[in-house]
Structure 1
Amino acid sequence: MPSQPPDSPAPEAPTSTTPTEPPSSSPSTSTSAPTTPAFPRIVENDPRRTGFDPRTAWWVNYFKILAGGVTPEGAFHYREQRYRENEARDCARCDKFRDWAFAYSPTVRFLRERVADLNGTLDKDNVLCRRCPARLTEDGQVHRASGGFSPGHGILICANEVRNRNHLEDTLAHEMVHAWDHLRWKVDWVGDKDLKHAACTEIRAAMLSGECRWTREAWTRGNWTLTQQFQDCVRRRAVQSVLARPRCKDDVQAVKVVNQVWDSCFTDTRPFDEVYR
């Protein structure tokens, strides 16, 4: 029997879903208000179908997974249970990485100073590590995130998705770019007017955070393309984040709006002089 509870490996999560405060609900007679697309139904675990029984000891389920007695759906639910049980451990580890980044990461320290220049504050009181539940929907898609930014609350780092200190550094830098953009331009996060603001800040965050540097794309995600790798990564991750916005209809609209702002936003490296990571 293993002495330390192992966790099944998880695919890399999108860096940000950028959660925002819901708009206030008020009566309206308008018939042209944007509608939120119907979200596929969330799939709940059924031990008879998946082979994973949460009432059984973790090591029994673990060896059932190794033996092929648990479906991929069951492995997802097993992983989520392990995250719940290890929440305190994961959050403590995330807090340690966050404090290191504030103290020693050149990128995080620079962004923190630039946010302060705009009368904003980012510290351990509003950069929080928490467990972020993932969702499995009936279309077979797993929806998970590494973090998010909310203008009214601060930055959330998903402790259960943090793989190592470098991953947290990239995730935190991504969200700090969002914070700087919001203080500088008052971004329309939800997309009530249009999605161009969201597309632009997602392009900039993916470009400036370091999450699309060649080593991470190649070794972590298995994308070994030598030409246009950086641009393709930034575009792909921006599209994924725009698609998660409540006002985005589908992937066609997400791609379209990213293309509309690409030329101006991909060349905008503020507050940096150039792309360093």
Structure 2
Amino acid sequence: MASNKSNPPSDSPSPSATSPDASTPPPQQSLPRFLTNDPARTGYDPTAKWWLNYFRIITGKVTREGIEHYREDRYRVHEARDCARCESQRDWLFAYSPTVRFLQEKISALGGTLDASNVVCRRCPGRVAEDGSVVRQSGGFSPDHGILLCANEFRNRGHLEDTLAHEMVHAWDHLRFQVDWAGRKDLRHSACTEIRASMLSGECRWARESFTRGNWTLTQQFQDCVRKRAVQSVMARPTCKDDVQAVKVVNEVWDSCFADKRPFDEVYR
């Protein structure tokens, strides 16, 4: 994807040559230990027929961890089908989605290109961590490669549209502001683009939060969703030490970045 060398505007956080992050090596973040399936522990036997395992799941004989391992094995079986459906929906969105078409035009105006050649659908493996948490993603953006859409994670075309719009906001920010994605100089860059992507993509609108995630809060629901998702994304950066630092960084840039609707005039979705 082409790069535009525009500097961040005055209201965007910029790296400081004297900041600790710029002069000291990044902290080593301990990575989660991922579990491999043990039928004796989980109740899920990958050598058995899928319907036998499914019956064991619905009768409560498989643990939460085992259900995730079963899910991953089914994703492998259906990889070609899921990728074909993702590509079809991606092409439809590039042709007919007002949000996606608008962002594509704005990215093109900055010298970048996003189309079927660098917006790719792939199966993205999930992992069960030792603490029981499940590590998953629905997409990602790379300045050097484009956008990844995780074909096995999408519930429907609307979900894919939200994810694609989120990553396209990242692409626009990259071309416009030259974001420090890894946070090696300033994590505020990452915090700002994550706030903007969650705010502008539609993934935090009330209907999505309520009917999909079960959050029926009527006050501050939108702001809380954007803040929560931004904190989670900043925590995933290799230079972020912990959730305390992630919350602190998001709070530092919240007012200016939550108010920045570019390239839209307002929150469209």
Taking structure 1 as the reference length, what is the TM-score of the superposition? 0.88
Deviation, structure 1 residue 54: 0.7
Partners of 1:31 and 1:263 lie apart in 2 by 27
Aligned partner of 1:24 in structure 2 is: none
Aligned residue among 217, 224, 230 for 1:225: 217
Aligned partner of 2:233 in structure 1 is: 241
> Which protein is richer in helix relative to its size?
2
1:111 paired to 2:103: yes
1:102 paired to 2:94: yes
- Percent identity reads 73
Aligned residue among 147, 150, 157 for 1:158: 150
Structure 1 runs of 4+ with >3 Å offset = none
Please show how residues 158-237 of structure 1 align to structure 2 within 5 Å.
158-237=150-229
Deviation, structure 1 residue 39: 1.1
Partners of 1:253 and 1:143 lie apart in 2 by 21
Aligned partner of 1:146 in structure 2 is: 138
Taking structure 2 as the reference length, what is the TM-score of the superposition? 0.91
Deviations 1:185-206 (A, max 9, x none): 1100000002100000000000
Give the count of matched residue pairs.
248
Please show how residues 61-140 of structure 1 align to structure 2 within 5 Å.
61-140=53-132
Partners of 1:32 and 1:270 lie apart in 2 by 33
Provide the secondary structure at the position in 2 that maps to 1:157: strand
Deviation, structure 1 residue 31: 9.3
Aligned residue among 48, 62, 67 for 1:56: 48
For 1:58, the aligned partner's letter is W
Provide the secondary structure at the position in 1 that maps to 2:213: coil
CA RMSD of aligned residues (A): 1.1
Give structure 2 stretches of 5+ with no counterpart: 1-21
Partners of 1:112 and 1:229 lie apart in 2 by 29
